Structure formats: C-alpha cells, structure tokens
Amino acid sequence: MPRGRYSLHDLHDHTPLGEEHFHCAPGPSGWRYVSQTTAPSGDHLGSLDLTLDELGRPIRMELHARSWQVRGAALEGVTWVRNDPSGTHATEGNVRAHAFSGTSPAFLVATARLLRLTPDSAETRIRLVTFTDPVLAPRTVDQSWALVNSEAHATDNGPLVVDEYQVSDLDTGDRHTVHLAGDVVLSAPGIELEHLESPPSPPAH
C-alpha cells in the first residue's frame, strides 16, 4: 500500500500551495485513494476519498475543500452533488464525461488507469469534469493523452516502470508531461513527490 506525501505548487509562479498526505491501494473493486491536504501553515485544507472499479471508472468520489463538499460517481456519464459551506444549498450536476479531475495527483493516476494506454496506442481524447479550488466549481475539460515512453529502472525491490504521458488541453492547446510509476505520480505540473514509504502498486492492465 503506497503511502506518502506530495507537495503542491502554483503552476505559474511556483508558490507553495501545501502538501497532500496520501495512501492508496488496489482493492476488491479496483483501486482506492485517500488523502488529506494541508496549507503551508499546516492548516487543514481538504480531503479526497476516491474509489475506482476494475475498469478505472469512478464508482465513489468524496471531495472536500475547506467547507465545500462534492460527492460523485460514474452514472450516465458522471453525476455529482455539490454542497455549500452552510449545508443549505445542494446543487446536482451531470455531464456526458468519462471521469473526474481536480488538483489532487490522484486524478492523474485515475485517468491513466481508465485509459490503459500502451506505447503503441494512438493519442486518446477524454472528457473530464474538474473541480477547481477553493469552492469546487465544476468545469468540463477535453484532453488528449498519449503514452510516449515507458522505461524500467532498477531498484532494491525490483524493476520500477516509469510511464511518461503527454497531456494536452484541447481548449487551450497547453501541453505538459506527467510521469507515473504504477499508482504514484512522480512528477507533473504543480506536483512533486516528496516522500514515499513503500513501492507503488503496479498499473492496471
């Protein structure tokens, strides 16, 4: 069961945004990721509890940011309920999309598990509903993913396969690189793996 800590940074000026303490593991249903996010001051910012099925689809997501909350799942696309801090107004949403996204590194792993790309795969389009901090406002984004390199590195625990993905935002044309090892993000824009207590779980096939 990988357990560790990511540091999160602003994409533009690299200002530290906080840390995400996580653990994740394959399970009977597919894969589960649980995390707590803290500000640079140490204050609690939010949490994520995400469960995927064996095909990589989100069967349960509970996302918190300050006092905002979103619960969602793959249902006729993706469906969610968003609650405001007072708890008096709940907004439902549904989009013909494949999965969820957000600031957590977990969503990059989840997308890779859903797409199951190989180096021979063509560039693949995917539609995601992303929830933006600090109020978890939903936004639909279209991306394309390609697995451009897969390389094995020798470690004390055996070979560690690192996958390099090229991810493009089809609305803006922005393109960036994501490095994954199994179910752990090694690096991505705004994300750095700072500590890992145990080896990553192998990727889904």
pTM passes above 0.85: yes
Q: Which residues have C-beta within 8 Å of that of residue 95, sequence separation ≥ 6?
A: 77, 78, 127, 129, 138, 140
How many percent of the chain have pLDDT more than 90? 80
Q: What is the pLDDT of residue 154?
A: 81
Q: Which residue has the tokens 């939010």?
A: 46
The residue-averaged pLDDT of 159-176 equals 93
Q: Which residues have C-beta within 8 Å of that of residue 123, sequence separation ≥ 6?
A: 144, 145, 146, 168
Q: Which residues have C-beta within 8 Å of that of residue 61, sequence separation ≥ 6?
A: 48, 49, 50, 51, 70, 71, 72, 73, 80, 100
The residue-averaged pLDDT of 79-107 equals 94
Asked if 105 and 20 count as a contact pair (C-beta separation under 8 A), the reply is yes
DSSP state of 123: P
199 versus 168: which is more confidently predicted? 168
62 pLDDT band, cuts 50/70/90, is very high
List residues bridging with 124 in a β-sheet. Answer: 145
Computed over every residue of the chain, the mean pLDDT equals 93
Provide the CA 132 distance to its chain's centre, in angstroms.
13
Asked if 78 and 58 count as a contact pair (C-beta separation under 8 A), the reply is yes
Give the C-alpha separation, 101 to 107, whole Å.
5
The residue-averaged pLDDT of 153-163 equals 83
